[in-house]
């Protein structure tokens, strides 16, 4: 990263920050080499100009998916880009062809489902968003195409997601290779199932990670010649053996030791184990327990994993027995012996552990002791046995422990590989390397030295690959790169591994000398490398040294280098364990060749490490490498936390920044000609106005700016480091001048606007003051007028008030007098009225008392009579209720019951009729009686009036005193008699009314009973219908079963020649005038057997006409097949071929025979006609014919259910009421089918259609025809998909406009560009028009046409929408406008095609329409989540909206996407959906199913009239097809 140039005041830059690593800011002042920066967090930072890096203010807010596209490729730019993408859950980013994967620490299942795999399958690298599937796909394609093995190097510290990334790689490779493993487990599952075992024995806690891999794992996925997975293998490298014996605080030893110490009590007792603090190999560190980890549960999980891998219980016990033996062996200590340089077991505790070790390893304790403290030296003269001093004995003990553990680990790997299964014949493989990353702690020892040596080797391999990729890019663009220097770390590797004189060589040399110490070793290093630029001697230490690695300087403590490096191969150890009585232990140490077992040989871990590393590098060099760098964003392992310093350190250790240095050594900035002109065209507008091509225009701009050292390739401009900043500075200057010009004009405009506003305000103020003065004068005049008016009204008020007072007094006096008179009159009238009222009430009481006594007597009489009638009715109802139980009888009694119910209904109807008649008669009688009573009453009243008048007249004529009393008595008697007569008439009338009311109630009760019986009859009828339907279904099922059995029997007969010769042959007798009396459409079927029987009794002359009839029938079938192979065309929009086939089959009664070959020949004809799948005209022709023929069959054929029953049963059913009802029900759809198909009346004609009892061949023919209809439909649909698929890829992204359209005033160029943009959409419309024209010409039913275009538009919706979500360059504003214009073309096509053919096709584009609508709306940050989900995009899911929102970028106006609050809300909702197991895939599926059924065809297709179809010329004149000719009425 070269120091920046052209940093000026106002430049946006990055500066170092102690909290955030890098922070953005703006340069406020420059003093020589000092730069003052105002940061975004409000601080002012003063730093050197070399430590300031330019910031790209025009970078997309969501970052770029490939960091080589960054305008400024430096450390802060890379960090900011990763942070911006991580915030949007974009965890993958490219750096060239290197993939950086940031662990999201949350589930993102939508990124790894099958839909996503399908999208990346075969896609070009970089075409879709960065993904681990893209790396795997590139490796797989390279292996298939070039035949060379590939490797994928996954690196990163523990917790960065290496295992998950490896899992996804293997999942995708398994998806491409498609091989299932043993017992239903895939290769990926088998490899991952071995992880717990390898982690238990190969992982340990380090300073930084609780589960750090202390070995390298290379997973080989093997493929056969066809590219299918054939096996897998796990290779392990560089196990850290020294950790078994030496552990630094606060680290831990390998997990298996602690797991075994936390095993169940019975296991610990068996291995004689206790607390981990008791063992020397574990108590060197104070850390025994990991936070959040239960070692006892991990022990059980490891046991289960061993079971899954295939390790038996005996082998598991042996494994843990060896682990326990190593722990006990570490507690064996030695003391000085009696002799010089000898040693003995220190104490009884040590001897106990020695005995326990021998017991666990099943070897002799004495032999074990001798192997630890004695050595045998073989000379030519004699064999010498010598003892070791305590220090040498301890070294011998540790060497044995390391050797046993290493052999145990190798055995586990071999066992796992055997469980997975390998392919020895595999020639191609894809390897996935998962290895520990660079380590730099506060205290670094021999383990860190070996690990960093490994990473230096891998980094050199990585650098060579990156430089190779750079060279390929330069060669591809045909630019000169010969002077670019390769950034190499060979000097560091020479410092470590060079022979002689390297660090490892000097360490081995020190280990071979007994008197060497770590101080002498350090002094040797200081002397040897004092002038080496990569080696640094610390000032305050005598045993430390510093090496400058690619990732930074690391200081190593040499204190334990010698002890940890020693790794003697001791013959005594080998002989001891080979002789073990435990087969497992003896198997770990097979016998060595005789020459190698005579003496002990020195071996060092460093040398062994170097050899294994060399083997790994040879394996990697033989493959094509691909790199994935996994990054852990934070140490708390939680989502949405991005720790900058942590990320920077991992990028350095992962070599990503080293790769950036390599790019910076060449041409770090690369821009296509379009991008370069679009960004820097403002530097030379005259160049854009010229007619030169883009390459020459770029050259002219660069020359005008005076740059040197750049290169112009075939498609890109390559700029050296710093040149981009220089161009941006000049561009900023040009834009600044333009901005100042704009500001000057704006300020002029604003000043004039302000003057006009002030002038307007002054005028308004003057008007306001004048208005106030005028209003004051007016107010004064108004007050004077008001005072005069008030006086006038006051005087009038006083006068009127005096007048009203006088008038009120007069009126009050008059009112009092009148009230007194009125009260007197009222009092008199009230008294008179009270007397009259008293008389009236008394008379009323007397009459009412008499009436109540009569009424009570009548009611008592009525109640008695009604009680008697009700008891009789109750008995009748109970009897009727017992009779209704007969409805639940069995099926045999059901028919009889129905007849009884029918009879009862008729009886009830008659009763109801009689009752109504009686009721009418009674009502008439009542009316007559009432009328007579009314007449009598009127006469009595008239007579009483006449008598009263006569009496009154007599009273008036009589003398006053003498005749007064008798007359009164006589009148009173007459009145009483008349009143009694009236009362009797009223009583009679009341009784008649009561009788009428009772009759009415009885009528209502009868009607209720009739309604109940009617309801019961209807229920019984419904039950009858249900039983009838059930019986009918059973009959049809039995019929189809019998038909199938019969067909199977016939097929079985055809298997043998004898059966074939004796098979009955069906003969169909045509309907002719001679045999035209065939009843009910039953065909005359004669078998060969019946012919042979009749031939003995009938003359031979009768057999010849039958034979000629069969030949004639065969000839007619041949002629029909020959006819339909031709294109017969259409008659009145109806397909002739379908109608001819149907009429022939119906006339020959082929539907009703048990065996015929005509159906198979028709199907074969259709199959041969559609063999050419690309001929859409032929396909549409047969689609029309098959759909029409299927429609005719659907309305003609019916299952032969009743026909398959026995004749006796059919006759019984038909004779019963149930049978008659079922026949009536079956007859109705038949008649409907007749009217639907031909629409003509009359019987006995050939053209009259009928429903026939179809046999099995006819039903099978219908099924085959349905299958061919669906096949032809699918072929037409798929052909249209294939035709528009290549164009859809061009329709999703708008082609970049030409340079001419960047200038203003180029209307013609814009019109040409717009025409080019819409050309792809017009090609799709052209294809749609072509297919619609073909289907219309072949009269394909509109229903099928609608289905075709509905599925095609759904396919367009899926392809466009998925491409939009997978390619960030498509989620732009201008691209949204382009796609929206294309969708308008499709909408116009739908409108032109009419709803009859397009149907709801336009609605199928709802996803892409709403997505595009979201892209082109303005002011997205102001939209709330509710508005987006409810109004703008109700169809899109939260995952889809989140994807579009985070990928959106505005390349036209520079606007932003939705607000961060909306993004956060979407992320929360996605997390909730993920927790609730809701599918989170944001991609759509293409539905390729058949979207209709046979019933849909029969319901939606129009009627087909086959009566007037003209037969083809080929069969028109043939005598056997005369029935096809239309008949005249």
Question: What is the model's pLDDT at position 1206?
Answer: 34
* Of 1339, 1336, 1324, nearest in space to 1280 by CA: 1324
Q: For the range 146-150, what are the long-range contacts, defined as Cβ-Cβ under 8 Å and sequence gap of 24 or more?
A: 146/624, 147/427, 147/428, 148/428, 148/623, 148/624, 149/428, 149/429, 149/430, 149/431, 149/622, 149/623, 149/624, 150/429, 150/430, 150/431, 150/623, 150/624, 150/625, 150/626
| Catalytic annotation present for 213 | yes
Contact 1276, 1180 (CB under 8 A): yes
Determine which one of 163, 242, 426, 1480 is catalytic: 163
Instruction: For Cα atoms 990, 996, 1001, give the angle at the middle one, nearest 5 degrees.
Output: 125
How many residues in total does the chain contain? 1529
Give CA–CA dist 615/325, Å, rounded. Answer: 31
Dihedral sign (CA 1245, 1251, 1253, 1258): positive
Distance of CA 804 to the CA centre of its chain: 94
Determine which one of 77, 159, 606, 1399 is catalytic: 159
Instruction: For Cα atoms 839, 842, 848, give the angle at the middle one, nearest 5 degrees.
Output: 140
Contact 430, 151 (CB under 8 A): yes
| Catalytic annotation present for 580 | no
Contact 384, 568 (CB under 8 A): no
Determine which one of 11, 158, 186, 1083 is catalytic: 158
Determine which one of 330, 437, 722, 1233 is catalytic: 437
Distance of CA 1362 to the CA centre of its chain: 12
Consecutive H or E run containing 798: helix 723-884
Determine which one of 212, 242, 392, 445 is catalytic: 212
Only one residue has tokens 């999703």, namely 1292
| Catalytic annotation present for 1200 | no
Determine which one of 193, 240, 298, 439 is catalytic: 439
Question: What is the model's pLDDT at position 1202?
Answer: 38
Give Cβ neighbours of residue 1435 (< 8 Å, ≥ 6 apart). Answer: 1406, 1407, 1410
Determine which one of 89, 213, 417, 1184 is catalytic: 213
* Of 94, 153, 154, nearest in space to 621 by CA: 153
What dihedral angle (degrees, nearest 10) is formed by the CA atoms of 335, 337, 342, 345? -40
Q: Where are the alpha helices (DSSP H) in 513-550?
A: 518-528
The alpha carbons of the chain give a radius of gyration, in whole angstroms, of: 54
| Catalytic annotation present for 439 | yes
Contact 1348, 1280 (CB under 8 A): yes
Question: Omega before 500 cis (within 30°)?
Answer: yes
| Catalytic annotation present for 675 | no
Contact 1398, 1321 (CB under 8 A): no
* Of 85, 57, 81, nearest in space to 68 by CA: 81
DSSP string, 1061-1120: HTSPPP-BPPP-SSSTT--TT---B--HHHHHHHHTTS-GGGHHHHHHHHHHHHHHHHHH
CA distances from residue 884 to 889, 890, 904, 1217 in whole angstroms, order as listed: 10, 14, 12, 19
Contact 1500, 1346 (CB under 8 A): no
Mean pLDDT by 10 residues, the chain (1529 residues): 63 88 90 88 86 84 82 86 88 88 84 84 85 92 87 83 84 76 62 85 84 83 84 84 86 93 92 91 90 89 90 92 94 87 88 93 90 77 78 88 92 90 83 82 83 86 77 77 68 86 88 83 89 87 88 86 76 83 89 54 77 85 88 85 87 75 71 82 81 83 82 84 77 86 93 95 94 93 93 93 92 93 93 92 92 92 91 88 65 73 82 83 82 84 82 68 42 73 82 83 83 82 77 65 54 40 35 36 34 36 52 84 88 88 87 85 89 86 91 79 38 37 36 35 41 83 91 92 85 59 44 65 91 92 92 91 82 85 90 87 90 87 88 88 84 78 84 64 81 83 81 81 69
Residue 1462 burial (CB < 10 Å; 0-12/13-18/19+)?
buried
Contact 7, 34 (CB under 8 A): no
Backbone angle region of 148, left / alpha / beta, with phi > 0 → left and psi within -120 to 50 → alpha? beta
Q: Where are the alpha helices (DSSP H) in 478-565?
A: 490-497, 503-512, 518-528, 561-565
**Helix pair angle (1207-1215, 1217-1237), 10° resolution:** 100
| Catalytic annotation present for 158 | yes
Question: What is the model's pLDDT at position 1075?
Answer: 38
Determine which one of 93, 194, 206, 209 is catalytic: 209
* Of 500, 474, 383, nearest in space to 668 by CA: 474
| Catalytic annotation present for 209 | yes
Reading the block at residue 652, the tokens are 């350095």
Reading the block at residue 1186, the tokens are 């098959």
How many C-beta neighbours within 10 Å does residue 783 have? 9
Question: What is the model's pLDDT at position 833?
Answer: 92
Consecutive H or E run containing 384: strand 383-387
Contact 139, 175 (CB under 8 A): no
Give CA–CA dist 1049/83, Å, rounded. Answer: 75
Give CA–CA dist 1199/564, Å, rounded. Answer: 89
């Amino acid at each position: 990263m070269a120091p920046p140039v052209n940093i000026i005041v106002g430049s946006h830059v990055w500066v170092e920050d102690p909290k955030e690593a890098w922070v953005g800011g703006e340069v406020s002042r420059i003093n020589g080499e000092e730069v003052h920066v105002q940061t975004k967090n409000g601080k002012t930072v003063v730093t050197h100009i070399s430590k300031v890096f330019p910031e790209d203010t025009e970078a997309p807010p969501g970052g770029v998916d490939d960091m080589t596209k960054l305008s400024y490729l430096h450390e802060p730019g890379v960090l900011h880009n990763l942070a911006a993408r991580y915030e949007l859950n974009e965890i993958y980013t490219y750096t060239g062809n290197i993939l950086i994967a940031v662990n999201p620490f949350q589930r993102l299942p939508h990124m790894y489902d099958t839909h996503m795999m399908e999208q990346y399958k075969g896609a070009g690298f970089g075409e879709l968003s960065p993904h681990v599937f893209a790396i795997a796909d590139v490796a797989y394609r390279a292996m298939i195409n070039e035949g060379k093995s590939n490797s994928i190097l996954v690196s990163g510290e523990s917790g960065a997601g290496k295992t998950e990334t490896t899992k996804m790689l293997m999942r995708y490779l398994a998806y491409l290779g498609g091989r299932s493993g043993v017992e239903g487990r895939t290769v990926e599952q088998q490899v991952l199932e071995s992880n717990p075992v390898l982690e238990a024995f190969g992982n340990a806690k380090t300073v930084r990670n609780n589960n750090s891999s202390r070995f390298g794992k290379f997973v080989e996925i093997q493929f056969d010649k066809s590219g299918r997975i054939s096996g897998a293998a796990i290779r392990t490298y560089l196990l850290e053996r020294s950790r078994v014996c030496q552990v630094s605080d606060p680290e831990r030893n390998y997990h298996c030791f602690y797991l075994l110490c936390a095993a169940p009590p019975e296991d610990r007792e068996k291995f004689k184990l206790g607390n981990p603090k008791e063992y020397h190999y574990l108590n060197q560190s104070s850390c025994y327990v990991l936070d959040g980890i239960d070692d006892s549960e991990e022990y059980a999980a490891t046991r289960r994993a061993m079971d899954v891998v295939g390790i038996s219980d005996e082998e598991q016990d042996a494994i843990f027995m060896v682990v326990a033996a190593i722990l006990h062996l570490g507690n064996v200590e030695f003391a000085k012996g009696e002799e010089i340089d000898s040693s003995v077991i220190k104490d009884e505790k040590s001897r106990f552990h020695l005995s326990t070790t021998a017991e666990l390893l099943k070897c002799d304790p004495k032999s074990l002791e001798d192997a630890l403290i004695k050595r045998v030296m073989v000379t030519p003269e004699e064999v010498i046995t010598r003892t070791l001093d305590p220090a040498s004995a301890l070294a011998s003990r540790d060497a044995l422990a390391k050797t046993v553990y290493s052999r145990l680990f190798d055995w586990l790997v071999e066992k796992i590989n055997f469980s997975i299964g390998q392919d020895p014949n595999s020639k191609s493989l894809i390897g996935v390397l998962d290895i520990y990353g660079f380590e730099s702690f506060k205290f670094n020892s021999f383990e860190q030295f070996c690990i960093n040596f490994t990473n230096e080797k891998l980094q050199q391999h990585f650098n060579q690959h990156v430089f190779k990729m750079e060279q390929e890019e330069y060669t591809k663009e045909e630019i000169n790169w010969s002077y670019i220097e390769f950034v190499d770390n060979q000097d560091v590797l020479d410092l470590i591994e060079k022979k002689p004189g390297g660090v490892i060589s000097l360490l081995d040399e020190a280990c071979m000398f007994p008197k060497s110490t770590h101080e002498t070793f350090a002094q040797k290093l200081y002397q040897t490398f004092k002038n080496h630029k990569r080696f640094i001697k610390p000032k305050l230490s005598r045993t430390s040294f510093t090496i400058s690695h690619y990732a930074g300087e690391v200081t190593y403590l040499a204190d334990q280098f010698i002890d940890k490096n020693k790794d003697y191969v001791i013959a005594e150890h080998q002989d001891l364990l080979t002789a073990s009585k435990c087969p497992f232990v003896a198997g770990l140490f097979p016998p060595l060749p005789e020459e190698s077992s005579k003496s002990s040989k020195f071996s060092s871990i460093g040398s062994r490490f170097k050899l294994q590393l060399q083997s790994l590098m040879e394996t990697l060099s033989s493959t094509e490498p691909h790199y994935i760098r996994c990054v852990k964003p934070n140490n708390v392992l939680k989502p949405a936390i991005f720790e900058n310093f942590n990320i920077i350190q991992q990028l350095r250790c992962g070599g990503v920044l080293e790769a950036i240095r390599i790019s910076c050594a060449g041409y770090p900035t690369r821009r296509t000609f379009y991008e370069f002109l679009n960004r820097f065209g403002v530097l030379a507008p005259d160049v854009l106005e010229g007619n030169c091509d883009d390459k020459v225009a770029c050259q002219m701009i660069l020359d005008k700016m005076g740059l040197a050292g750049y290169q112009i390739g075939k498609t890109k401009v390559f700029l050296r480091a710093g040149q981009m900043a220089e161009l941006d500075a000049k561009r900023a200057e040009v834009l600044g001048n333009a901005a100042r010009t704009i500001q000057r004009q704006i300020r002029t405009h604003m000043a004039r606007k302000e003057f006009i506003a002030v002038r307007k305000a002054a005028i308004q103020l003057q008007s306001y003051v004048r208005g106030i003065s005028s209003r004051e004068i007016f107010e004064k005049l108004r007050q004077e007028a008001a005072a005069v008016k008030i006086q006038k009204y006051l005087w009038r008020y006083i006068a009127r008030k005096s007048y009203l007072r006088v008038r009120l007094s007069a009126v009050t006096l008059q009112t009092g007098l009148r009230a007194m008179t009125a009260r007197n009159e009222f009092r008199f009238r009230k008294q008179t009225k009270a007397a009259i009222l008293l008389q009236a009430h008394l008379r009323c009481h007397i009459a009412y008392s008499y009436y109540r006594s009569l009424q009570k007597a009548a009611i008592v009489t009525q109640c008695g009579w009604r009680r008697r009638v009700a008891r009789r009715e109750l008995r009748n109802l109970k009897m009727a209720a017992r009779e209704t139980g007969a409805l639940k009888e069995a099926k045999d009694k059901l028919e009889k019951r129905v007849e009884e119910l029918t009879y009862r209904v008729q009886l009830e109807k008659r009763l109801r009729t009689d009752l109504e008649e009686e009721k009418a008669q009674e009502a008439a009688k009542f009316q007559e009686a009432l009328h007579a009573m009314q007449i009598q009453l009127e006469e009595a009243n008239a007579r009483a009036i006449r008598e009263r008048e006569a009496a009154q007249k007599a009273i008036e004529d009589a003398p006053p005193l003498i005749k007064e009393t008798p007359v009164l008595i006589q009148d009173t008697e007459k009145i009483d008699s008349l009143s009694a007569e009236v009362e009797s008439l009223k009583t009679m009338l009341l009784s008649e009314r009561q009788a009428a009311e009772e009759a009415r109630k009885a009528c209502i009760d009868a009607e209720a009973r009739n309604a109940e019986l009617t309801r019961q009859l209807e229920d019984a009828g419904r039950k009858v219908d249900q039983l009838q339907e059930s019986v009918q279904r059973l009959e049809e099922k039995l019929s189809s079963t019998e038909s199938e059995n019969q067909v199977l029997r016939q097929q079985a007969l055809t298997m043998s020649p004898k059966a074939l010769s004796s098979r009955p042959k069906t003969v169909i007798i045509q309907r002719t005038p001679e045999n035209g009396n065939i009843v009910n459409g039953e065909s005359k079927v004669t078998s060969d057997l019946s012919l042979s029987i009749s031939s003995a009794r009938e003359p031979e002359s009768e057999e010849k006409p039958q034979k000629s009839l069969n030949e004639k029938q065969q000839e007619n079938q041949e002629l029909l097949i020959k006819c339909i192979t031709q294109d017969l065309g259409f008659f009145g929009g109806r397909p002739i071929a379908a109608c001819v086939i149907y009429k022939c089959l119906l006339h020959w009664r082929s539907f009703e025979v048990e065996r015929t070959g005509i159906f198979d020949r028709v199907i074969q004809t259709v199959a041969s006609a559609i063999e050419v799948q690309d001929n859409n005209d032929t396909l549409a022709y047969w689609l029309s014919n098959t759909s029409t023929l299927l429609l005719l069959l659907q309305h003609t054929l019916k299952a032969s259910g009743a026909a398959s029953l026995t004749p006796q049963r059919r006759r019984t059913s038909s004779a019963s009421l149930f049978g008659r009802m079922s026949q009536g029900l079956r007859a109705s759809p038949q008649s409907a089918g007749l009217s639907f198909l031909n629409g003509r009346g009359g019987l006995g004609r050939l053209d009259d259609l009928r429903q026939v009892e179809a046999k099995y061949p006819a039903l099978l023919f219908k099924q085959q025809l349905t299958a061919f209809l669906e096949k032809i439909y699918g072929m037409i649909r798929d052909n249209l998909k294939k035709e528009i698929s290549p164009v859809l890829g061009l329709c999703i992204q708008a082609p970049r406009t030409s340079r001419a359209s960047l200038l203003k005033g180029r209307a013609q160029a814009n019109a040409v560009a717009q025409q080019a943009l819409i050309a792809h959409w017009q090609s799709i419309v052209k294809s749609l028009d072509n297919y619609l024209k073909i289907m219309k010409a072949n009269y394909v039913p509109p229903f099928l046409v609608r289905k075709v275009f509905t599925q095609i538009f759904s396919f367009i919706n899926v392809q466009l929408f998925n491409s939009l979500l997978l390619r960030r360059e498509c989620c732009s504003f201008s691209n949204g406008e382009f796609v929206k214009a294309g969708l308008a073309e499709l909408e116009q096509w739908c409108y032109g095609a009419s709803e009859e053919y397009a149907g709801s096709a336009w609605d199928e584009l709802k996803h892409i329409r709403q997505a595009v609508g979201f892209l082109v709306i303005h002011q997205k940050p102001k939209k709330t989540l509710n508005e987006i989900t409810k109004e703008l995009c109700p169809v899109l899911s939260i995952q889809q909206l989140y994807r579009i929102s985070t990928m959106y970028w505005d390349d036209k106006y520079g606007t932003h996407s939705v607000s961060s609050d909306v993004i956060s809300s979407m992320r929360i909702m996605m997390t909730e959906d993920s927790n609730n197991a809701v599918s989170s895939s944001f991609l759509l599926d293409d539905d390729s199913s058949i979207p209709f059924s046979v019933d849909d065809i029969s319901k939606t297709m129009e009627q087909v009239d086959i009566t007037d179809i003209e037969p083809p010329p080929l069969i028109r004149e043939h005598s056997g097809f005369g029935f096809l000719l239309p008949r005249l009425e």
